[in-house]
Amino acid sequence: MTLPIYQVDAFTDKVFAGNPAAVCPLAEWLPADTMQAIAAENNLAETAFFVPRAGTAAEYELRWFTPAVEVALCGHATLATAHVLFRHLGATVEVLTFHSQSGPLHVRQQPGGLLTLDFPAQPPQPLTQHPDGLLDGLRATPLSILAGPDLVAVFDTEAEVLALRPSMTHLAKVEYRGVIATAPGAGGVDFVSRWFGPRVGVPEDPVTGSGHTQLVPYWAARLGKTQLHARQVSARGGDLWCELHGERVLISGYAVTYLRGEIELPSWN
């Protein structure tokens, strides 16, 4: 049994940058443990699997797996999936709809190859106490902390975020999906971030679309603007053009194909 697989660098317009994701088109769902095994074998931050939704056009069921767990929302692998459909699988519609654990997600193809994710906003809420493991994990003290699906640690400067050398052992004890370090940006960038998720098998994610569903509401309120240019300052790095649109966050970026291939699996009866 063979399955097609694509590897796409998301939130970048050149290979070897942005966030790599694997994308596997399926005719029907594989067992969850098989999809988890494929994701572990790929050893990328995320592997996306999708199947066409019966009776609809341009609508798909979509699931995401890290090397360790299935997750409820992933931005860069959704962007990568849309790129595969538009670039390689002949999608001609303007908007694709993906049905997921986080509800319907839309991706619009813009002129020039830009893709725009339409995701639910997840505003983080302030915390008054540092969760266990956070300060030992970051090896630094943030100005403030907030909680959404991830823990958000706000710093004063981009330099502080860049200088972080976290302890993954301690961060894995923080009882959130991941830990985001963020600070104001410079040179036309409104804010920067890094995302650490050893608890879900991703020590540092290069560019985290789902994290921006939390960061954009926070920075929009703090900066008094709804359109924001964000940069994730990981080693690979990536740029995101974001807009807070009511209870939704629009996250735009580019994507580029790195490889196309096939997975060989045993056949099931």
Structure tokens at 170: 């301690």
Helix (H, G, I), strand (E, B) or coil at 71: strand
pLDDT at 41: 96
pLDDT at 268: 54
62 near 82, Cβ under 8 Å?
Answer: no
Residues linked to residue 214 through DSSP beta bridges, in sequence order: none
Given this structure, which CATH class describes domain 125-238? alpha beta
pLDDT at 267: 72
**Residues in the chain with pLDDT values less than 50:** 269
Domain ranges of the chain: 2-121+253-264, 125-238
pLDDT at 269: 39
What single string gives the DSSP state of each residue in 127-165? ESSPPTTHHHHHTS--SEEEESSSEEEE-S-HHHHHH--
DSSP label at 200? G
- Strand pairing class (19-25; 227-232): unpaired
pLDDT at 116: 97
Structure tokens at 224: 């008094």
Q: Is the Cα torsion angle 198, 154, 232, 228 positive or negative in sign?
A: positive
Active site residues: 46
Cβ-in-10-Å burial (0-12, 13-18, 19+) of 53 comes to middle
Residues in the chain: 269
Host H or E run for residue 60: strand 59-65
pLDDT at 50: 98
Q: CA–CA separation, 161 vs 194, rounded Å?
A: 7
256 near 268, Cβ under 8 Å?
Answer: no
171 near 138, Cβ under 8 Å?
Answer: yes
DSSP label at 62? E
Q: Is the Cα torsion angle 124, 127, 130, 132 positive or negative in sign?
A: negative
Right CATH for 2-121+253-264 from 3.10.310.10, 2.40.50.140, 3.30.1330.40, 3.40.630.10: 3.10.310.10
